[in-house]
Amino acid sequence: MFVVKLVLKNALRHKLRTILTILGIAIAVAAFGFIRTIVTAWSAGVEASAENRMITRHAVSFIFTLPYSYRDQIAGIQGVEEVSYANWFGGNYKDASDWKNFFPRVAVDPDTYFSLYPEYIVPADQLEAFKRERNSCIVGAKLAREQGFKLGDVIPIEGDIFPGKWEFTVRGIYEGKDKTADETQMFFHWNYLNERIKELQPGREGQIGWYVLKVSNATDMTRVARAVDGLYENSRARTKTETEKEFQQSFVSMSSSIITSLKAASYLIIGIILLVLANTIVMAARERMREYAVLKTIGFKKSHIIGLIGGESMMIAIIGGAIGLALTFPAAGALAAAFPTFFPIVNVEPMTIVFASAIALLAGIVAALFPASRAVRMKIADGLRSLG
């Protein structure tokens, strides 16, 4: 108990130094949490993947399309419960150089798509309105908030992959089932796309970007993948079928260098935390060498000395860490607000909190190791002579 009291009093001795150290640790811990949140946000799509969904795309790369005729054949494969399809539309909304205007624009099969993605919840009447109207669209709630889309608004898009001026009327707004669902997408009728393309660029119609498969049993997935790809092995358009998780992961791994760099940066930050804390604790311990010698003379033991130094180190680390963790949340919030469509899902994961806390605690221990061992090993006579 006394050790605790002395630790507190000692920390208050140099208020400025203690506050600066806590601040330094807080900022570093917040940065660590922030960077890890960016990394987890990058892979958010992977985590959100459904257990029993698969994606079939062109084997060469997803910029090549598959024929519409594949649909029925794929639906006929045993184990495939339901099939839907989609095309990446792309295009530009307003000024494309402002990245806030980027959001996913996807042409889908209105009858099946939303039943394959039950995590996108659309009010029944809106879904009906969407299905009825050819050039309507359904947008995500987050997107609607960001861009101010309301039911009935017309969204003009300048096409690039599919050139021309396009307009879509908002007939529905979907909400995610939980916070892992992406609410920044815009979906419209594939038929609408197909018909217009037939007029504008005859020969390009009847093409699908990718098929979405719902498989009855997760255990069937490997077999289904092989069956689908086997069907088209010798066709002009070969397919590659994989689980949705693998599909999402392939996007993430494209940026693996960046993600690795971010992770490296977060580890370096740990180094900073340690340096700042160690600097302070080494200094504080050195100043008080004589006092430790006096305490030893009076009869206090090694464990007391360790408790004093370690205690101060831990206390600063814990307070700094707690403040840093608290700061991580608004920082993550700022990230989500700045790039709503690049990082549609930004959550501070429990693992991140655990890591950050562990690092603060470890730093508290490690920073005290050297000065504590020095103080413990010091001969009393030498300590009494030290000038601090």
Partner 1 sequence: MATSNGRAMIEVKNVTKSYHRDSIEIPVLRDLSIQVPEGEFLALMGPSGSGKTTLLNLIAGIDRPDRGEVLVGGTDIGTMGESDLAKWRSSHVGFIFQFYNLLPVLTAFENVELPLLLTRLSKGERKARVDLALKLVGLAERMSHYPKQLSGGQEQRVAIARAIVTDPTVLVADEPTGDLDKVSAGEIMELLERLNKEFGKTIVMVTHDPRAASKAHKVMNLDKGELV
Partner 2 sequence: MKIPLSYSWRSLWTRRLTTTLTLFGIALVVFVFATVLMLAHGIEVALIETGSDDNAIVLRRAANSEIVSQIDRDAANIMKTLPEVALRPDGKPIASAESFVIINLSKKESNDMGNISVRGISPQALEMRPQVKITEGRMFTFGTREIILGDNLPKRFQGCEIGQQIQFGEASWTIVGHFIAQGSAFESEIWGDVEQFMPAFGRPVFSSMTVRLTSPAAFDAFKARVEQDPRTQMAEAKRERQYYREQSELMAAFIRILGLLVTFIFSIGAVIGAVITMFAAVANRTVEIGTLRALGFRRRAVLGAFLIESILLSLIGGVLGVGLAALMSFVQISTVNFGTFSELAFGFALSPSIIVSSLVFAVAMGILGGFSPAVRAARLNILAALREA
Residues that bind partner 1 (CB under 8 A): 2, 6, 9-10, 12-13, 290-291, 294-302, 379-381, 384
Quick one: angle between helices 302-338 and 256-287, nearest 10? 150
Report the 3 state secondary structure along 9-36.
Answer: HHHHHCHHHHHHHHHHHHHHHHHHHHHH
Considering the complex, what minimum distance in angstroms separates the CB of residue 379 from partner 1?
Answer: 7
300 binds, among partner 1, partner 2, none (CB under 5 to 8 A by kind): partner 1
Residue 20, interface with partner 2 (CB under 8 A)?
A: yes
Residue 250, interface with partner 2 (CB under 8 A)?
A: yes
Residue 160, interface with partner 2 (CB under 8 A)?
A: yes
Amino acid in position 181: A
Residues 278-297 as x/- pattern, contact with partner 2 by CB under 8 A: xxx-xx---x----------
Out of 7, 10, 11, 28, the residue judged to bind partner 2 by CB under 8 A: 28
Considering the complex, what minimum distance in angstroms separates the CB of residue 9 from partner 1?
Answer: 4
Considering the complex, what minimum distance in angstroms separates the CB of residue 132 from partner 2?
Answer: 30
Out of 123, 206, 271, 333, the residue judged to bind partner 2 by CB under 8 A: 271
Q: How many CA atoms lie within 13 A of 213 on its CB side?
A: 33
Residue 200, interface with partner 2 (CB under 8 A)?
A: no
Residues 353-382 as x/- pattern, contact with partner 2 by CB under 8 A: ------------------------------
User: How many residues sit close enough to partner 2 to count as binding (CB under 8 A)?
Assistant: 54
By the 10 Å C-beta count (0-12 exposed, 13-18 middle, 19+ buried), 344 is classed as buried
Residue 316, interface with partner 2 (CB under 8 A)?
A: no
> Closest Cα partner for 120 from 140, 102, 146, 104?
140
Asked if 208 and 5 touch (Cβ cutoff 8 Å), the reply is no
Beta pairing, strands 66-67 & 120-121: unpaired
Out of 63, 151, 218, 326, the residue judged to bind partner 2 by CB under 8 A: 63
358 binds, among partner 2, partner 1, none (CB under 5 to 8 A by kind): none
> Closest Cα partner for 189 from 143, 130, 141, 149?
130
Q: Which helix (H) or strand (E) holds 81?
A: strand 80-88
Rounded (5°) CA angle 80-83-86: 145
Which of residues 238 and 304 has its CB atom nearest to partner 2 in the complex?
238
Find the part of the chain contacting partner 2 (CB under 8 A) among 18-26, 46-54, 127-135, 350-358: 18-26
Out of 191, 255, 297, 303, the residue judged to bind partner 2 by CB under 8 A: 255
C-beta atoms surrounding 261 within 10 Å: 11
Considering the complex, what minimum distance in angstroms separates the CB of residue 323 from partner 1?
Answer: 24
C-alpha to C-alpha distances, 339 to 48, 98, 234, 262, nearest whole angstrom: 19, 11, 43, 17
Which of residues 141 and 259 has its CB atom nearest to partner 2 in the complex?
259
Which of residues 300 and 339 has its CB atom nearest to partner 2 in the complex?
339
Question: How does DSSP assign 239-290, residue by residue?
Answer: EEEEEHHHHHHHHHHHTHHHHHHHHHHHHHHHHHHHHHHHHHHHHHHHHTHH
Residue 197, interface with partner 2 (CB under 8 A)?
A: no
By the 10 Å C-beta count (0-12 exposed, 13-18 middle, 19+ buried), 168 is classed as buried
Burial 229-260 (b: 16+ CB within 10 A, else e): bebbeeeebebbbbbbbbbbbeeeeeeeeebe
217 binds, among partner 1, partner 2, none (CB under 5 to 8 A by kind): none
Residues that bind partner 2 (CB under 8 A): 14, 16-17, 20-21, 23-24, 27-28, 30-31, 35, 38, 60-61, 63-64, 90-92, 96, 99, 158-161, 163, 203, 236, 238, 250, 253-258, 261-262, 265, 268-269, 271-273, 275-276, 278-280, 282-283, 287, 388
